[in-house]
A and B are shown apart, each in its own frame.
Chain A
Amino acid sequence: MYRLVAILMVLLVGNVFAHGHADHSNLGEEASSIKASGKIFHTDGLDVIRKMHPEFLNHKRDKTLREGVRTEESSLKGCVNCHATKDKKTNQYHPVSDKDQFCSTCHQKVSVSVDCFSCHRTTPRKGTK
């Protein structure tokens, strides 16, 4: 019994660490500066966006493609623009779908492939920061 509890505890603690990356090195350029400024972008809470982002994106994609609603809310462009990290040496953006980048860190962990980026652009638009 104690052994089970111990295993459970280890798993729980492991998850906490997985979410609470100490350095947030792959959070992305713009997202990091928003975080540093103390502003909150995802006002519904991080747990909501972590859990629900596929639904948000699926809903938005249909609104945009089929109905022509082009707002910034739940826009995949927005995710990429904020969460792409720059390589410090080359000053080029890493694709968000690359190993250990913002999207793939969690997706690797839970073994869920990200299909967005077989078509969508993985770095912020040329000419933006």
Chain B
Amino acid sequence: MSKTLNRRDFIKTSSATTVGVATIASGITLTSFAANANENPVTNEKRWGMLVDTNKLTEVEIDGMVSACQQENGWGNEVHSTGDQKPTWVKKLKVQDKATGKITSLPLMCQHCEEPPCVDVCPTNASMKREDGIVLVDKHLCIGCRYCMMACPYDARSFVHEDLTDQREHMPRGKGTVESCTLCVHKVDNGESPACVASVNSDAVIFGDLYDPKSNINQTLKKVQSAQIRADLDLNTGVRYSGI
């Protein structure tokens, strides 16, 4: 073992160490950068969107999406609300082709329009669209007038009719305010996918940045035929459907 370290060996060992350190160090830099990502305000360089393939998506999976949303955001346990009063952030919708009678099921939630009618009609600026295209209700400003619910062509918003306790930490909800799908904004800001998307195991529902040419959703939308619901309204929705 009493080997003397000659010049050549020394250079070999030290360069291997340097490469090793550099690899680890670059990893650390990347990680810390990702952790700091949500210190900066979101920008309009991104536009979050979702693509639902109704041919691939089964009814069971749609039910799974609804319950994943309930679990994540804590809605659906309202005891005093009846019928239409019950909040519904996402629902299973069945559409039938009149000619053939073919029934297609699809999950319907806030479509995160680029030109949201709910934002247009809100008297207090509570209904708002983030720079990255996510449409939200600022419940601090919401007065519960429900104009947005009337303006929404997708019936995507709900009103909370009763006092609530034990809300999710990341999703404050309360009586007298309007609420709807937030595209799981708390998860998106941390680099995760919305709960409903994560609950589907196949690629029947894709989530991502519509503007990023490298993203799966962008590339898929370029390839497949897709549609916006009520495209005639020219709202340019963030949620797209293929197979309807």
Contacts and interface: CB of A to CB of B under 8 A. Distances in A.
Interface in B149-190: 163-169, 172-177, 185-186, 189-190
A126 to B, nearest CB: 8
Contacts of A77: 169
A67 B42 contact: yes
Contacts of A69: 38-41
B140 interface: yes
A119 B177 contact: yes
Contact of A119 (B128, B166, B173): B173
A91 interface: no
A61 interface: yes
Given A61-B140, A119-B174, A68 B185 contact: yes
B132 interface: yes
Contacts of B138: 65-66
Interface residues of A, number: 19
A95 B130 CA distance: 32
B38 A68 contact: yes
Nearest to A61: B140
Interface residues of B, number: 30
Contact of B167 (A61, A65, A121): A121
A51 interface: no
A121 B174 contact: no
B136 interface: yes
Contacts, number: 53
A66 B172 contact: no
Best-surrounded residue of A61, A68, A70 (most CB of chain B within 10 A): A68
Interface string A104-125: 0000000000000011111111
A68 B175 contact: no
B166 A70 contact: no
Given A61-B140, A119-B167, A68 B42 contact: yes
A15 interface: no
A71 interface: yes
Most buried by A among B138, B140, B175: B140
B168 A121 contact: yes
B139 interface: yes
A125 B185 contact: no
Contacts of B166: 121, 123
Contacts of B168: 121
B38 A121 contact: no
Nearest to B176: A118
Nearest to A73: B39
A121 B168 CA distance: 7
Given A61-B140, A119-B139, A120-B167, A68 B172 contact: no
A68 B42 CA distance: 6
A97 to B, nearest CB: 10
Contact of B169 (A66, A67, A70, A121): A121
Interface of B: 38-42, 128, 130-132, 136, 138-140, 163-169, 172-177, 185-186, 189-190
Given A119-B174, A121-B166, A125-B169, 13 more contacts: A63-B41, A65-B136, A66-B130, A67-B130, A68-B42, A69-B38, A69-B39, A70-B189, A70-B190, A77-B169, A119-B164, A119-B172, A119-B177
